[in-house]
């Protein structure tokens, strides 16, 4: 393969890869997804005899970390952020960093045990982001993501 061909191939790979993670996809708030580059923090989503909860319910990350929500048991669960309980002006980036949203700051419903859903915190403003599980909000299933 010539150098020029290799370069063209690399460019195509980049473009396809970017489209694959939704970087080019428009969203309700007009942001552009920023991929996570640092650590991954796991939050379990649980509904059992002890109740419905995110575990841990409060997590602190550095901007750039990924938060992996894991549907453990008792679903369907989801992750939805309260638009008025996140830093001002942060909605566009958060929405862009949430794959396959079903509404403003709302993840899909997770129906399969073991399913995971990862949100990048790259480019998110430092501050407190409060979220809940839509099916189980009335049962107290909510949490707090603190981005430093």
Could you list the residues that contact Cu ion (CB under 5 A)? 77, 133, 136, 141
State in angstroms the smallest separation of the CB of 75 from Cu ion.
Answer: 6
| Beta carbon nearer to Cu ion, 61 or 133 | 133
Separation in Å, CA 62 to CA 10, 37, 38, 84, 146: 31, 10, 8, 21, 8
State in angstroms the smallest separation of the CB of 56 from Cu ion.
Answer: 15
| Beta carbon nearer to Cu ion, 81 or 96 | 81
State in angstroms the smallest separation of the CB of 97 from Cu ion.
Answer: 21
Torsion angle, alpha carbons of 119, 121, 126, 127, to 10: 10
* Secondary structure of residue 14 in the 3-state scheme: helix
| Beta carbon nearer to Cu ion, 119 or 122 | 119
Counting beta carbons within 10 angstroms of the beta carbon of residue 135, is it exposed (0 to 12), middle (13 to 18) or buried (19 or more)?
middle
| Beta carbon nearer to Cu ion, 67 or 96 | 67
| Beta carbon nearer to Cu ion, 69 or 129 | 69
State in angstroms the smallest separation of the CB of 136 from Cu ion.
Answer: 3
C-alpha 15/C-alpha 121 separation (Å) is: 22
State in angstroms the smallest separation of the CB of 135 from Cu ion.
Answer: 5
Query: How many residues comprise the chain?
Result: 148
Q: Going by C-beta distance under 8 Å and a sequence separation of 6 or more, which residues neighbour residue 20?
A: none
């Amino acid at each position: 393969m010539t150098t020029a061909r290799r370069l063209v191939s690399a460019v195509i790979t980049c473009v396809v890869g970017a489209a694959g993670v939704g970087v080019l996809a428009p969203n309700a708030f007009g942001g552009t997804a920023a991929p996570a580059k640092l650590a991954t923090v796991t939050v379990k989503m649980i509904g059992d005899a002890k109740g419905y909860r995110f575990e841990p319910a409060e997590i602190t990350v550095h901007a750039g970390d990924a938060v992996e929500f894991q549907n453990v048991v008792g679903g369907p669960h989801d992750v939805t952020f309260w638009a008025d309980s996140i830093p001002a002006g942060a909605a566009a980036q958060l929405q862009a960093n949430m794959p396959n949203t079903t509404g403003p700051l709302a993840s899909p419903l997770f129906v399969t045990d073991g399913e995971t859903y990862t949100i990048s915190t790259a480019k998110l403003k430092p501050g407190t982001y409060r979220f809940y599980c839509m099916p189980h909000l009335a049962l107290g299933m909510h949490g707090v993501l603190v981005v430093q």
